[in-house]
C-alpha cells in the first residue's frame, strides 16, 4: 500500500500518500483509518492527508464519492500540498458528499486546521 497511516492527536489522523495510488489502495487506507478510530473509540475524526509525494490518483468520481462516505465519523480531510488533479477531484467530492475537504501548504498548517475542525465539530455536536 502506498499510504502510511498514523494517529497524530485525539481525533486527528495522518495519512501520507506516495507514488501512484489505486482505488484499492484508497479502500485499504479507509478501512485502516476506520479500524484505528474503532480502537481509539473516536466518535468523529479529521484526516490530515500529506500528498507531497503523491504522483496520481484514480479519477473515478463515483467510487471516490463512495469512499468519502465509508465512515461517517470522518468529518473532514485537510490535504497538504495537493497536486492540481487532487485539488480538482477533492473539490468535486466535497461538493457531492457531506465531507469537508480543505487544502494547506504545510503539514503544520494542516494539523492546526485539523484541530480547529475537531473543535468546531465537537461544539456543533454539543449544540444539537
Residue 110's pLDDT is 96
Q: 99: which 3 cell numbers?
A: 465531507
Residue 59's pLDDT is 81
Domain boundaries, the chain: 3-127
Q: How far apart are CA 114 and CA 79, in angstroms?
A: 10
Cβ-based burial of 18 (10 A; exposed 0-12, middle 13-18, buried ≥19)? middle
* Mode of pairing for the β-strands spanning 12-20 and 3-9: antiparallel
Q: How far apart are CA 33 and CA 122, in angstroms?
A: 19
Q: What is the pLDDT along the chain (128 residues), one digit of tens a residue?
A: 578 999 999 999 999 988 888 889 989 989 999 999 999 999 999 999 998 888 777 788 888 888 888 899 999 999 998 888 888 888 898 899 989 999 999 999 999 999 999 999 988 888 87
> Is the CB of residue 68 less than 8 Å from the CB of residue 114?
no
The CATH number, out of the four listed (3.40.50.1370, 3.30.420.40, 3.30.750.24, 3.40.47.10), of the domain defined by the range 3-127: 3.30.750.24
Q: How far apart are CA 60 and CA 68, in angstroms?
A: 12
Amino acid at each position: 500500500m502506498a499510504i502510511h497511516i498514523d494517529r497524530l492527536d485525539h481525533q486527528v489522523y495522518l495519512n501520507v500518500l506516495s507514488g501512484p495510488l489505486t482505488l484499492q489502495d484508497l479502500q485499504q487506507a479507509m478501512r485502516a483509518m476506520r479500524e484505528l478510530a474503532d480502537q481509539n473509540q473516536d466518535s468523529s475524526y479529521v484526516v490530515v492527508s500529506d500528498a507531497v509525494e503523491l504522483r496520481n490518483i484514480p479519477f473515478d468520481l463515483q467510487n471516490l464519492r463512495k469512499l468519502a462516505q465509508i465512515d461517517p465519523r470522518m468529518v473532514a480531510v485537510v490535504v497538504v500540498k495537493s497536486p492540481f488533479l487532487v485539488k480538482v477531484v477533492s473539490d468535486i467530492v466535497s461538493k457531492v458528499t457531506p465531507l469537508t475537504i480543505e487544502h494547506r501548504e504545510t503539514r503544520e498548517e494542516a494539523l492546526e486546521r485539523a484541530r480547529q475542525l475537531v473543535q468546531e465539530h465537537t461544539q456543533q455536536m454539543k449544540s444539537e
